Every structure is written in structure tokens, then in C-alpha cells.
């Protein structure tokens, strides 16, 4: 039992680091995607939603206190990604042909929450590279909330789709004995 918990915590730690690294790369390069939930989705796929939530929340806290204060405010988005991804993986909805449609569900929930946070807490300007696009849309007359939601959804869909495809590919490459040990 203790060994299994140690393996789960180790996987979570590696995935927290993966989230932080992805977010840091996206921040530095001002990419219009976040790359901050690959680890959260990986843990959700392998261990379930509760572990995914803990991984996402831990990532947000560490990123927020080290290099990106905005990350703290978006911790609820990581929580919702871990929860929904875990449930969708348990129902086999993020595998095979279902991925494109299922990522819409995951993205719409995270985009809605992210847009509310970005629009009302930060007036649409965050550390994300997509803030530039929000400002352009606002300048041409689209409301701030609509601008943020449109961009947030497009960005989240691309980001979550890339993340899920990377996770699915990585899981296929994992040796069977590792998957069995982690899952129990």
C-alpha cells in the first residue's frame, strides 16, 4: 500500500513539474496556448479525477508563487480540468474518435471559468499570449467578456486537444507494468 502511494505521489510530482515547465515555455514564448495542463490530464487519465485535481491545484500554486502570479487566480480552471478529464477518461470518452467532441466539453467548461476570471478579475489582460488578441477584438468593438470568452474557448480547445493527444500517445508508450503498478 505504501509503495503504491509513493508511486502515485511520484507520478503527481513529475506531472506538476510538466505543467510548470509547459506553462513557463508558453509564457516566455508568448504562445496563444497555455501548455499548463498536460500533467494534470496525464494524472487524471492514469489515476482519476481526485489526483488530477490535486496535481492541477499544486501546479497553479507553485507557478503562482514562483514566476506567474496570474496562475494562482486560475487555479479553479486547473481543478475543473483535472475533475472533468478524470471523469471523461474513466468513461473512455477521451480516447479514439470521441476525442474531438469530448475535448469540446472539457474546453467549454474550462473556457467559461477562465473567461470569467480573466474578464472580471483582470479586465481581459493576463500573462497569456492570447491577451493581445483580446485587446484587438475589444478595440474593434467586441465586448470585453465576449472577446475573452471567444479567445479563451479557442485557446482552451487547442490547448486541451494538444494535451490530450500528447497524453494518449505517452500512455500508449508506457510499459504495461508501469500502468498496472500506478493504477493499483
Give the pLDDT confidence of 26-70 residue by residue, as tens digits: 989 988 888 999 999 999 999 999 999 999 999 999 999 999 898
Q: Cα–Cα distance between 109 and 22 in angstroms, integer? A: 21
Of all residues in the chain, what percent carry a pLDDT higher than 90? 65
Question: What does the pLDDT read at residue 51?
Answer: 98
177 pLDDT above the threshold of 60: no
Flag whether the pTM goes above 0.85. Answer: yes
Q: Cα–Cα distance between 36 and 40 in angstroms, integer? A: 8
Instruction: For residue 98, count other CB atoms closer than 10 A to its CB.
Output: 13
Q: Cα–Cα distance between 141 and 158 in angstroms, integer? A: 25
Q: What is the pLDDT of residues 61-76, one digit of tens each?
A: 999 999 989 899 999 9
Higher pLDDT, 57 or 184: 57
Q: Cα–Cα distance between 143 and 131 in angstroms, integer? A: 14
Question: What does the pLDDT read at residue 169?
Answer: 94
83 pLDDT above the threshold of 80: yes
Amino acid at each position: 500500500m505504501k509503495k503504491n502511494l509513493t508511486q502515485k505521489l511520484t507520478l503527481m510530482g513529475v506531472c506538476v513539474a510538466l505543467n510548470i515547465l509547459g506553462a513557463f515555455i508558453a509564457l516566455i514564448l508568448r504562445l496563444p496556448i497555455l501548455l499548463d495542463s498536460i500533467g494534470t490530464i496525464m494524472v487524471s487519465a492514469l489515476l482519476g479525477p481526485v489526483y488530477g485535481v490535486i496535481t492541477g491545484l499544486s501546479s497553479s500554486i507553485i507557478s503562482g508563487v514562483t514566476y506567474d502570479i496570474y496562475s494562482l487566480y486560475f487555479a479553479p480552471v486547473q481543478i475543473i480540468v483535472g475533475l472533468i478529464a478524470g471523469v471523461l477518461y474513466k468513461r473512455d470518452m477521451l480516447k479514439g474518435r470521441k476525442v474531438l467532441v469530448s475535448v469540446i466539453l472539457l474546453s467549454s467548461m474550462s473556457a467559461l471559468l477562465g473567461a470569467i476570471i480573466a474578464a472580471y478579475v483582470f479586465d481581459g489582460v493576463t500573462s497569456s499570449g492570447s491577451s493581445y488578441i483580446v485587446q484587438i477584438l475589444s478595440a474593434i468593438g467586441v465586448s470585453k467578456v465576449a472577446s475573452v470568452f471567444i479567445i479563451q474557448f479557442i485557446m482552451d480547445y487547442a490547448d486541451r486537444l494538444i494535451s490530450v493527444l500528447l497524453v494518449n500517445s505517452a500512455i500508449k508508450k508506457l510499459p504495461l507494468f508501469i500502468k498496472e503498478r500506478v493504477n493499483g
